[in-house]
Chain A
Amino acid sequence: MINESRRGFMGKAFGAVAAVGAVGSLVAMKRSWDPLPSVMAAGFTTVDMSKLEENKLEIVKWQGKPIFLLKFAADMPAVEKRSVKVGEHYYSVMIGLCTHLGCIPAYSSANKQFKCACHGGEFDAAGIHTFGPPPRPLDIPPFAIKDENTIVLGESSPEYEALIASLSTDNNIA
């Protein structure tokens, strides 16, 4: 009997040590796969909006993602809750990744629409999905308007919060 209880104790002791070891190992393994601090820190892109031409798509890189900047022409009406006013002009500022599976849609100036080659999704100039599998409009990156020609991507601002707030019913927005 005494042997049994000793063996039982040894079994439980080993179980406890093994459990602590297993949890510690899993945490270390999970953390080693996390993005590195340098990756997380690289985050701000400053854009000079004065160089943009009307109805011509400009793509800049932010956190490895393509950001669509589209300056609206006079015949393109601003879209409420989507367009960003910098200086005198309205712009679309959007993450250029199809909200279906992350391909980069191409912009056609003639049709004033984005078309995704992967699965046929289409978006209008304001990034609102009009056809195909995309479940929501193109996402809007955090931005801050610095002066009439400059915005910074990656920094939040009241203008950005206002746009996002209007979408708060959709928890898929990144």
Chain B
Amino acid sequence: MAEFEKANSVGEWFDQRLNTSGFWRVMMTEYWIPKNINFLWAMGALLAMLFTLLLVTGIFLLMYYKPDVNMAFDSVNYTIMQEVAYGWIFRNIHGVGASVVFLVIYIHMFTGIYYGSYKKGREMIWLSGMLLFVLFSAEGFSGYMLPWGQMSYWAAYVITEIFGGIPFIGDELVIWIRGNFYVADATLTRFFMLHVLLIPLAILGAIVFHFYTLRFPHVNNEEGEFFDYKEESEKYLAGDKKESKVIAFWPDFLSKDFMVISIFMIFFFYLVFYHNAFAMDPVNFDKADGLKTPAHIYPEWYFLWSYEVLRGFFFDIAGISGKSLGLIAFGFAQAIFFVLPWLDKSPMVKPANQRPVFKYWFWILMADLFVLTIFGKLPPTGINAWVGFYASITFIVLFLALPYLTKLEAKMVGGK
């Protein structure tokens, strides 16, 4: 070890020992972001912000919440909401934040799909992002159980029951997951553990990994342009910031992110204070009752599209039961987004509106997901059941057809 000079400042003292200036340079001032991007590129920083909010509010809720079937409901609806000073605000931020984080995740995801940010070297960004989506879904589901209201209970019941559809081990698996024959105290306590420890730990790790996957392929830009980052960053460092196609992560990029975050936070707290009802289902203010199914069960809005795919198949086809078909379609819907980079056979990395075939695919998918979400909330009777069926079929066909459509597109554009 080289001998250390006496440090002239606190900063230098840390720099000598931790190379803080080098770390800052690599992570911040010389981490390069393309210049031609728009506000949609701020969703990542926004998600980091929202996750932090959920983590902090979660810690405060944790001090009064009781993971026990006899105490959970009152600990939330009486202790936290009425007794704890400002307890209501932590709960509202946590509940509204959980809902809004999915809104931003979906914007983030569909921005990636629209601009083709999942292929040609960016596959790991996409895969780690999808992993985060699954982890956030598990986090949302396990958290929804905790207030132990009627919707908590029956959502837990229906979702754990899904595992019963797995051949051979299904019935035993459901009992194993629940720790009882039905959703009971053991279920609540273990999902509490998952919600406050295991899944958040996994999410933190996955976020770090997701950032790392951006390091080498770099973030995509509005035109899908590939350029030499070394060359462009040298221009920037030489002072030619106008000509350079890149900007520094800090202070250039993040300062604009903070602007977007500021505007978003005003909207977010408007929801928290004045329009939080959408994240607080009235049915969930009835205490869980295992012998009384609510008249109509539906998940939170962000799960509606996949819920509609699950129940879209309400009759037998070719000797396969509607239940099995629904489960297969549901599994398909969960898994298929992961392999999107390999289903898109077109070499084009361009915004969808510049791609002759993909643009139709993208907007039909958006419309279909919209229809699935709307009908996922409606009672599945009469015409609704059929709309759900055809929208589910459309979803599956869209993904099965994508390799052929994008091959066609590759031919049309001549491999560009």
Query: Which residue of chain B is the closest to A105 with respect to CB atoms?
Result: B293
Query: Which residue of chain A is the closest to B158 with respect to CB atoms?
Result: A101
B322 neighbours in A (Cβ, 8 Å): 100, 132-133, 135
Give min CB distance, B243 to chain A, whole Å.
54
Is A39 positioned at the interface, with any CB of B under 8 Å from its CB? yes
Q: CA–CA, A101 to B182, complex, Å?
A: 13
Q: CA–CA, A30 to B180, complex, Å?
A: 14
Per-residue contact bits, chain B 139-183, to A (CB 8 Å; 1 contact, 0 not): 000000000000000100110011010000001000111111110
A36 neighbours in B (Cβ, 8 Å): 179, 186
Given contacts A101-B158, A118-B158, contact A133 B315 (CB under 8 A): yes
Query: Which residue of chain A is the closest to B379 with respect to CB atoms?
Result: A120
Within 8 A of B (CB), among A49-93: 59, 61, 63-66
Is A174 positioned at the interface, with any CB of B under 8 Å from its CB? yes
Within 8 A of B (CB), among A84-116: 99-104, 116
Q: How many residues of B contact A (CB 8 A)?
A: 40
Q: CA–CA, A134 to B314, complex, Å?
A: 8
Given contacts A61-B291, A119-B380, A133-B314, contact A33 B297 (CB under 8 A): no
Is B294 positioned at the interface, with any CB of A under 8 Å from its CB? yes
Q: CA–CA, A35 to B179, complex, Å?
A: 4
B296 neighbours in A (Cβ, 8 Å): 117-118
Q: CA–CA, A116 to B164, complex, Å?
A: 19
A34 neighbours in B (Cβ, 8 Å): 176, 179
A64 neighbours in B (Cβ, 8 Å): 180-182, 184, 290
Per-residue contact bits, chain B 18-47, to A (CB 8 Å; 1 contact, 0 not): 000000000000000000000000000000
Query: Which single member of B295, B323, B380 contacts A120 (CB below 8 Å)?
Result: B380
Given contacts A103-B158, A135-B322, A174-B171, contact A117 B294 (CB under 8 A): yes
Give min CB distance, B154 to chain A, whole Å.
7
Give min CB distance, A120 to chain B, whole Å.
5
B290 neighbours in A (Cβ, 8 Å): 64, 66
> Are the C-beta atoms of A133 and B311 separated by less than 8 Å?
yes
Most B CB within 10 A of own CB, among A66, A100, A116, A134: A100
A132 neighbours in B (Cβ, 8 Å): 314, 322
Is B114 positioned at the interface, with any CB of A under 8 Å from its CB? no
Query: Which residue of chain B is the closest to A99 with respect to CB atoms?
Result: B323
Query: Which single member of B162, B186, B291 contacts A101 (CB below 8 Å)?
Result: B162
> Are the C-beta atoms of B184 and A33 separated by less than 8 Å?
no
> Are the C-beta atoms of A39 and B190 separated by less than 8 Å?
no
A134 neighbours in B (Cβ, 8 Å): 323
A103 neighbours in B (Cβ, 8 Å): 154, 157-158, 293, 297
Within 8 A of A (CB), among B240-291: 290-291
> Are the C-beta atoms of A33 and B323 separated by less than 8 Å?
no
Most A CB within 10 A of own CB, among B171, B175, B180, B294: B180
Query: Which residue of chain A is the closest to B316 with respect to CB atoms?
Result: A135
Is B17 positioned at the interface, with any CB of A under 8 Å from its CB? no
Q: CA–CA, A67 to B157, complex, Å?
A: 17
A120 neighbours in B (Cβ, 8 Å): 314, 379-381, 385
Within 8 A of B (CB), among A114-131: 116-120
Is B326 positioned at the interface, with any CB of A under 8 Å from its CB? yes
B311 neighbours in A (Cβ, 8 Å): 119, 133
Give min CB distance, A119 to chain B, whole Å.
5
> Are the C-beta atoms of B186 and A133 separated by less than 8 Å?
no
A118 neighbours in B (Cβ, 8 Å): 158, 293, 296-297
> Are the C-beta atoms of B321 and A104 separated by less than 8 Å?
no
Give min CB distance, A76 to chain B, whole Å.
24
Q: CA–CA, A39 to B296, complex, Å?
A: 30
A59 neighbours in B (Cβ, 8 Å): 291
> Are the C-beta atoms of A63 and B181 separated by less than 8 Å?
yes
Is B324 positioned at the interface, with any CB of A under 8 Å from its CB? yes
Query: Which single member of B157, B295, B313, B379 contacts A102 (CB below 8 Å)?
Result: B157
Within 8 A of A (CB), among B287-341: 290-297, 311, 313-316, 321-324, 326
Q: CA–CA, A63 to B183, complex, Å?
A: 11
Q: CA–CA, A103 to B162, complex, Å?
A: 12
Q: CA–CA, A135 to B158, complex, Å?
A: 16
Given contacts A64-B180, A103-B158, contact A119 B186 (CB under 8 A): no
Pairs A-B, 5 closest by C-beta atoms: A64-B182, A135-B321, A104-B293, A102-B161, A133-B322
| 14 more A-B residue pairs beyond the given contacts A66-B291, A117-B294, with a C-beta to C-beta distance below 8 A | A33-B190, A34-B176, A39-B179, A63-B181, A65-B181, A102-B158, A104-B292, A117-B293, A118-B158, A118-B293, A119-B380, A133-B314, A133-B315, A135-B316
Q: What are 13 A-B residue pairs whose CB atoms fall within 8 Å in the complex? A: A34-B179, A35-B175, A39-B181, A64-B184, A64-B290, A99-B323, A100-B322, A100-B323, A102-B158, A102-B164, A104-B291, A133-B313, A133-B322
